[in-house]
Amino acid sequence: MNIQDYPDRDMLAIDLANHLAGELEATLFTHDSATLAVAGGTTPGPVFDVLCAADLDWHRVMVLPTDERCVPQDHSRANARLIAERLLVNRAASARYLPLYLPGAEPEDCLAEVEALLTPALPLSVLVLGMGEDMHTASLFAGMPGLAAALDADAPALAVARPETQPENRITLTAPVLNGALSKHLIIYGAAKRKALERAMSMHPEEAPIAAVLDGITVHWAE
């Protein structure tokens, strides 16, 4: 794990977006397509605002969320909506979006269809994770049913998450898919998340799920 500190969130967004664009460009140089998985939540929006303007062959890029809340795609809590409004605009509008949840369905009922769309797009080329102060990442939450299975190296690509602390069910990429990414990044802001990350480093992934994905990751931090 490598930690990069930035003087402020704007600098982080600009630097990281340029770095991600470079990684995607390098992937497209040697591959027909590239896959970018991004966190939802409140953290990554400013990075998307810069990245969407990158001069890339976006029509060869597939974009997906690391996890999705089981709500309609235009719901204010849908990561699909955040990605549509902040990332798949400008030059990036020609990227292809891979949904993790198919609205209207019970989460279990969409897993097979979503996995069939996702599998040809793996391994992830570039992964951008977020983390909660409770040390969850994607929708891998301590204490949720099925966490151990979703952290297992042989887990299927997707898992249904029913975290008690969250208002809705979710579908998440599992640890082997996250760890299979060729390049892994984590964005965190503020002292509380920095402390939580430091604590997680000596904890078991079932207590601190972020610990399952720290190997080889670059953490981007700003106050």
Beta-carbon contacts of residue 76 (< 8 Å; ≥ 6 apart): none
Is 67 a binding residue for ligand 6PG by CB under 6 A? The answer is yes
Given 39, 62, 100, 178, the residue binding ligand 6PG (CB under 6 A): 39
Distances in whole angstroms, Cα of residue 217 to Cα of each of 46, 48, 66, 76, 202: 20, 19, 15, 29, 16
Q: Map the footprint of ligand 6PG across residues 121-140, applying CB under 6 A.
A: 130-132, 136-138
Partners of 159 in the beta sheet?
172
Instruction: Verify binding: residue 186, ligand 6PG, rule CB under 6 A.
Output: no
Structure tokens at 3: 């930690």
C-beta closer to ligand 6PG: residue 27 or 43: 43
103 scored as a contact of ligand 6PG (CB under 6 A): no
End-to-end CA distance of the chain: 19
Quick one: which of 24, 27, 40, 52 contacts ligand 6PG (CB under 6 A)? 40
Which C-beta is closer to ligand 6PG: that of 131 or that of 150? 131
Nearest to 138 by CA among 161, 156, 115, 168: 161
Least CB distance to ligand 6PG at residue 133 (A):
8
